[in-house]
Structure 1
């Protein structure tokens, strides 16, 4: 059996140490209350005719943040401000938010963004559809700038869309491109 004096001393020491950690000293200043970061109150907008809303989490590639917010599939053609254009297969339109959360300029290049079909085939934007619908091919993104735009693709009629691979601008000082980030599409 152990010496009761040793056990009692050990218990008293443990109690003293634990009570010393239990609270702040009465004269210590209280830490300031944590206040939540304010957010913008943006009103919800209706989804455009023929478009399905996409609820995807924001993703980042390089110095660019993306969020897919809308999708249209199976369009046979469309009217622009000055032309009517028919698809060779079907048009697929992906609406995205593009954001530069950094402190320096970034560049968005619509021509790098790839639509992915369920069989693994990839498709580049349709330059004529982008031009007729007056969507940018390239766009400078200033620091803290956020832009919403459409990406128009003309893919085979029988192709099933599965994802989009989004490419951002590499961080300042990095040469070459980024690897892109894939976002599943419904």
Structure 2
């Protein structure tokens, strides 16, 4: 058996060496500087014909992160791959990016989204227009998934667009629905 004094000295030396490995080289009062987060470099692309770009900051509701990127108003008719359909009033198209930044699956329900007009009225999507333009009513969003899509609304001809209210899925384990978040469009 080894001498207990030698074992103690070895353990003490190991403790000193391991503690020394955790030093940052900075005085104890200096805080470590944050490393900037890397970002994707996404190439800009042209706005679609008839669409105005919207420069809105991203917003979050529940598990959904949204960014409004485009707007079309005053459309009298829509054209699909197999259909042409007149608006009852005017079609308004809101182009959004919807993202699930969470680590669990989430969902997006286009039927919950609302267009708000200057008089405070709220309009749901036009399901026929959504289907004709091949935009989903619902879609699953896996962890970290990001999707760009259109929301089609049919509102009165003289109505002025004020905002869009966007709704995400409630966080995992939360029952009920979210309150939504408004993005000004005027």
Shorter chain as normaliser: what TM range? Answer: 0.7 to 0.9
TM-score where L is the length of structure 1: 0.83
Task: Give the match for residue 137 of structure 1.
Answer: 137
Tell me the distance in 2 between the aligned counterparts of 1:137 and 1:82: 19
Tell me the distance in 2 between the aligned counterparts of 1:28 and 1:169: 42
Offset, 1:37: 1.4
Task: Give the match for residue 13 of structure 1.
Answer: none
Tell me the distance in 1 between the aligned counterparts of 2:50 and 2:24: 62
Tell me the distance in 1 between the aligned counterparts of 2:93 and 2:59: 19
Tell me the distance in 2 between the aligned counterparts of 1:130 and 1:101: 25
Offset, 1:113: 0.1
Offset, 1:32: 6.3
Tell me the distance in 2 between the aligned counterparts of 1:28 and 1:105: 38
Task: Give the match for residue 126 of structure 2.
Answer: 126
Tell me the distance in 1 between the aligned counterparts of 2:124 and 2:59: 20
Offset, 1:29: 1.1
Task: Give the match for residue 168 of structure 1.
Answer: 168
TM-score where L is the length of structure 2: 0.83
What are the ranges of 5 or more consecutive residues in structure 1 without an aligned counterpart?
1-26
Tell me the distance in 2 between the aligned counterparts of 1:38 and 1:90: 42
Tell me the distance in 2 between the aligned counterparts of 1:35 and 1:161: 42
**Residues 88-99 of structure 1: pairs in structure 2 closer than 5 A:** 88-99=88-99
- Give the alignment partner of residue 25 of structure 2, picking from 22, 29, 37: 29
**Residues 1-186 of structure 1: pairs in structure 2 closer than 5 A:** 29-30=25-26, 34-186=34-186
Tell me the distance in 1 between the aligned counterparts of 2:111 and 2:68: 17
What are the ranges of 5 or more consecutive residues in structure 2 without an aligned counterpart?
1-22
Question: CA, structure 1 residues 28+172, in 2 after alignment: closer, same or farther (shift >3 Å)?
Answer: closer
Higher mean alpha-carbon deviation, 28-37 vs 74-83, is at 28-37
The total of aligned residue pairs comes to 160
Please list the CA deviations of residues 15-69 of structure 1 after superposition, one character each: whole Å capped at 9, or x if unmatched: xxxxxxxxxxxx9713766432111111001000000000000000001100000
Structure 1: 4+ residue segments shifted above 2 A: 30-35
